[in-house]
Amino acid sequence: MNFLFIGDIVGRGGRQAVKELVPELRREFNCPFCIANGENMASGSGLNAKCVKDISDYVDVITTGDHIWDQKTFEHEIKQFDKVLRPANLSDKQPGNGWKIFRNPGSGEFAVINLQGTIFVRESAYCPFETVEKILEEIPSRIKCIIVDFHAEATSEKAAMGYFLEGKVTAVLGTHTHVQTADAKILPGGTAYITDVGMTGAERSVLGRDVNAVVEKFRTGLPRRFTVIETGIRLDAIVVSYNLTTGEATAIKNISRMSSI
């Protein structure tokens, strides 16, 4: 069995690339379900109901991260969407779910856990390691496929989480840094791992933003408006193959595709 995971979607151009390329990728790699990190879908910062609806026909689960509440309306809108997760290790007083069991007709039940790192991340969050331990105790034993989106800045924290969950989950997939890493692998315990899936955003950009503005900010230290680039979009993703009976990952493949946008 295979599933597709799409790297951080940036802006309108990223959403358009998802609509253009994901149906083709799901057919090509025979993926009954697709997960996407969508925390940058609304003009590059956060997401809203319009953005979620825009890609709802193309992805089955939307994960997020530290920009989850950048769009002020979304703390109310998130209650409309069963498929959207927010980091599980945020305060319980925040709306939404941090993990959930989903069912896909082609692949049975699977669980998705959304976690946020604590190193170099602006928002305070509880320990992701303790949080995921508690979640795993709650997931019924019948659920064999468990996928973790670890939205974190520090590569060391991501790598540690991969080894911490080795043999306990199907995949630990890093998001947030918008650059696809070259370390996709199957850990000996049967867990697929990659430090960062990458980004669905402009190829000629700095993490989806205007190159000149970002360079100028670095050169001068002066504030600059970082405009989201909506053309020349590249979609980064991974495909994970796993054993439907045991939940163990058997293969992981990096993907990067240019859209026509």
Among residues of the chain, what percentage have pLDDT more than 70? 100
Rg of the chain's alpha carbons, rounded to an integer? Answer: 17
Q: Report the CATH architecture of 2-258.
A: 4-Layer Sandwich (3.60)
pLDDT tens sequence across 65-75? 999 999 999 99
Contact call for residues 68 and 151 (beta carbons, < 8 A): no
The token duo for 212 is 């000149």
Instruction: Point out the residues that are catalytic.
Output: 67
Phi-psi region of 30 (alpha: psi -120 to 50; beta: other; left: phi over 0): left
pLDDT score for 205: 96
- DSSP classification of residue 78: G
pLDDT at 106: 79
For the segment 12-19, the average pLDDT, to the nearest whole number, is 98
How far, in Å, are 139, 144, 192 from residue 109 at the CA level?
A: 11, 8, 18
Q: What mean pLDDT value characterizes the chain? A: 96
Give how far Cα 152 sits from Cα of 158, 175, 193, Å.
7, 6, 14
Name the band, by pLDDT with cuts 50, 70 and 90, for residue 261: confident
pLDDT of residue 124: 77
Q: Give 1's pLDDT tier (boundaries 50, 70, 90).
A: very high
**pLDDT of amino acid 93:** 95
| Residue 42 confidence (pLDDT) | 96
Write the pLDDT tens digit of every residue in 97-137.
999 999 987 789 999 999 999 999 877 799 999 999 999 99
For 150, the 3-state DSSP assignment is: strand
Phi-psi region of 24 (alpha: psi -120 to 50; beta: other; left: phi over 0): alpha
The whole-angstrom separation of Cα 228 and Cα 84 is: 23
HSE value, Cβ hemisphere, 13 Å, CA-based, for 236: 28
Average pLDDT on 160-165 reads: 98
pTM of the full structure: 0.95
